[in-house]
Amino acid sequence: MVSAQIDHLALYAGLSGYPKIDTTDPRHFPYLLSSAPHVEDLGGKWAANPNYGNDIVKMVQDIQSIKVEQEETKNTLKDLENHWAEEEIEFIVEKGELKGYDDNTFRPDQPLTRAEYCVLRARQLGFVKKKIISSIKPTVFILDPGHRVDTPGKRANGLLEYEFNEDVTRRTGKLLESHGEVYYTIETENHPYSEMTAEGRSKNLNFRTNNANQIYDKAIKEDKKVIFISMHANAASNPTASGYEIFVYKMGGEAHEIAKHIYNAAENILGVGNTIKSRRIKEANFAVLRNTKMPAMLIEHEFFTNVEAVKKLKDDDFRDLCAKHIKDGLVSYMA
Ligand SMILES: [Zn+2]
């Protein structure tokens, strides 16, 4: 077949001895139409189109120019030629473990800095920058139902303060379960000291704060965040006293910051500042705030000594909202 093609081309070119009688070219002509010693000469002679030869030459040139371009982009580093490590450097660069500089140099004899070594090793080990989804630590909520069933002076208008505190504490705990770990400072059946005496009340306060601090010590080792909330309803000798307030040990700290979020939620959800008097965030030297190691708040939801306010404290829907505003405030703080 190769000899046939050569005979065919030779015929086109008009070489002496052509047309040939003895040829394997099946398309060999017995006569010579014209001679075309160059490809450009084919047009108008062997081909009807006068540009035929020139078009072919142009196509060949186009193909050649594409090849040249590919070769140029392959080797972008200008200062590797004839370097003793040229092949090894090109191998490493192709692997993506080291790159050249912006000016397309590799600077093969420049010393490697410690930072460059770390980048090199990290790339070798497959390091991929992780997108930080959230910097929020897992959170532990310690909920404290204030007082006890037998704490003196905590009943008015048919409501025992502890009954409200205990109920709202458990409702809040249920809502917080999907946002972190929930612990309680006391369980109903776990009540070691009678609160009928000052000594018993003091021991119970220590029992709560010790419990909370033990949970805190463990959680901190596990790099968790801990927040303490003591649940209360308020009392006053003045029966017209009313309103909502949050106590922290010191203003300006993290507890104060968390309290602001809970306070905002109280305004939106409980109607504090509207249907409930706003008594704001305040400092107080309470044992559960003073003796706890984690940010701690004590929330006074309303006054059970107030005939109107106590209706809310007894109301099932209002208690749900009390739990919800604490959960929403904490979630907002953690966001
Ligand atoms: Zn109380």
Looking at the fold, whether 241 and 272 belong to one and the same domain comes out as yes
Across residues 167-175, what is the average pLDDT? Answer: 97
Q: Which domain holds residue 24?
A: 2-71
Sign of the C-alpha dihedral, residues 73, 74, 79, 81?
negative
CATH code for position 241: 3.40.630.40
What is the average pLDDT across 215-241?
Answer: 96
User: Half-sphere exposure of residue 176, counting CA atoms within 13 Å on the CB side?
Assistant: 31
Q: Are residues 26 and 156 in the same domain?
A: no
pLDDT at 129: 58
Q: State in Å: Cα 243 to ligand 1 middle.
A: 14
100 and 230 belong to one structural domain = no
| Span from the CA of 138 to the centroid of ligand 1 (angstroms) | 29
Separation of 147 CA from ligand 1 center, angstroms? 6
Q: Are residues 106 and 155 in the same domain?
A: no
Is 50 exceeded by the pLDDT of residue 90? Answer: yes
- Rounded mean pLDDT, 236-245: 97
Tens of pLDDT, residues 139-148: 999 999 999 9
3-class secondary-structure state, position 127? coil
Q: Is residue 96 part of a domain?
A: yes
Q: How far is the CA of 231 from the centre of ligand 1 (A)?
A: 7
- The phi, psi pair for 115, rounded to 5°, reads -65, -40
- Indicate the pLDDT class of residue 73, thresholds 50, 70 and 90: very low
Q: How far apart are CA 154 and CA 9, in angstroms?
A: 116
| Rounded-to-integer distance, Cα 59 and Cα 55, Å | 6
The pLDDT of residue 1 is: 46
Evaluate whether residue 330 is within a structural domain.
Answer: yes
Alpha helices by DSSP H, listed for the chain, are 2-13, 52-74, 86-95, 114-124, 161-176, 198-221, 254-265, 287-290, 307-314, 316-334
d(CA 1, CA 152): 116
Q: What is the tally of structural domains in the chain?
A: 3
Instruction: Identify which of 14, 12, 4 has the alpha carbon closest to the alpha carbon of residue 56.
Output: 12
CA distance readout (Å), 230 to 152, 227, 268: 18, 10, 21
Q: What is the pLDDT of residue 283?
A: 97
Mean pLDDT along residues 266-270: 97
Task: Specify the higher pLDDT residue, 53 or 307.
Answer: 307
Q: Is residue 129 part of a domain?
A: no
pLDDT band at 296 (very low <50, low <70, confident <90, very high): very high
Pairwise pLDDT comparison (74 vs 301), residue with the higher score = 301
159 in the same domain as 80: no
Q: Is 32 in the same domain as 101?
A: no
In this predicted structure, the answer to whether residue 135 has a pLDDT above a threshold of 60 is no
Is the pLDDT reported for residue 72 higher than 50? no
Residue 276 has pLDDT above 70, yes or no: yes
pLDDT band at 51 (very low <50, low <70, confident <90, very high): confident
Same domain? For 229 and 257 the reply is yes
pLDDT score of 313 more than 80 = yes
Query: What's the confidence (pLDDT) of residue 188?
Result: 64
Distance 326 CA to ligand 1 centre (A): 17
Query: Do 17 and 101 lie in a common domain?
Result: no
| Residue 213 pLDDT > 80 | yes
For 122-151, what is the mean pLDDT? 76
Please tell me the distance between residue 298's alpha carbon and the centre of ligand 1 in angstroms.
9
pLDDT tens-digit map of 6-37: 777 777 777 778 787 778 877 777 766 677 77
Q: Amino acid identity of 38? A: H
Looking at the fold, whether 172 and 242 belong to one and the same domain comes out as yes
CA of 162 to the centre of ligand 1 (A): 8
- Distance from the alpha carbon of residue 293 to the mean position of ligand 1, in angstroms: 21
Q: Is residue 117 part of a domain?
A: yes
Q: Compute the mean pLDDT over every residue in the chain, rounded to the nearest whole number.
A: 87
Do 245 and 233 lie in one domain? The reply is yes
Whether 154 and 255 share a structural domain: yes
Inform me whether the pLDDT recorded for 133 exceeds 50.
no
Question: How many angstroms from the chain centroid is the CA of residue 295?
Answer: 25
Q: Same domain, yes or no, for 105 and 252?
A: no
pLDDT class of 308 with cuts at 50, 70, 90: very high
- Measured distance CA(87)–CA(93) in Å, rounded: 10
The answer to whether residue 234 is domain-embedded is yes
pLDDT of residue 55 exceeding 70, the answer is yes
CA of 209 to the centre of ligand 1 (A): 16
Q: How far, in Å, from the CA of 254 to the mean position of ligand 1?
A: 23
Is residue 93 one of the residues assigned to a domain? yes
Strand 225-234 relative to strand 296-303, pairing = parallel
Q: How far is the CA of 277 from the centre of ligand 1 (A)?
A: 18
* Residue 150 CA: distances (Å) to CA of 4, 146, 155, 196: 117, 12, 10, 6
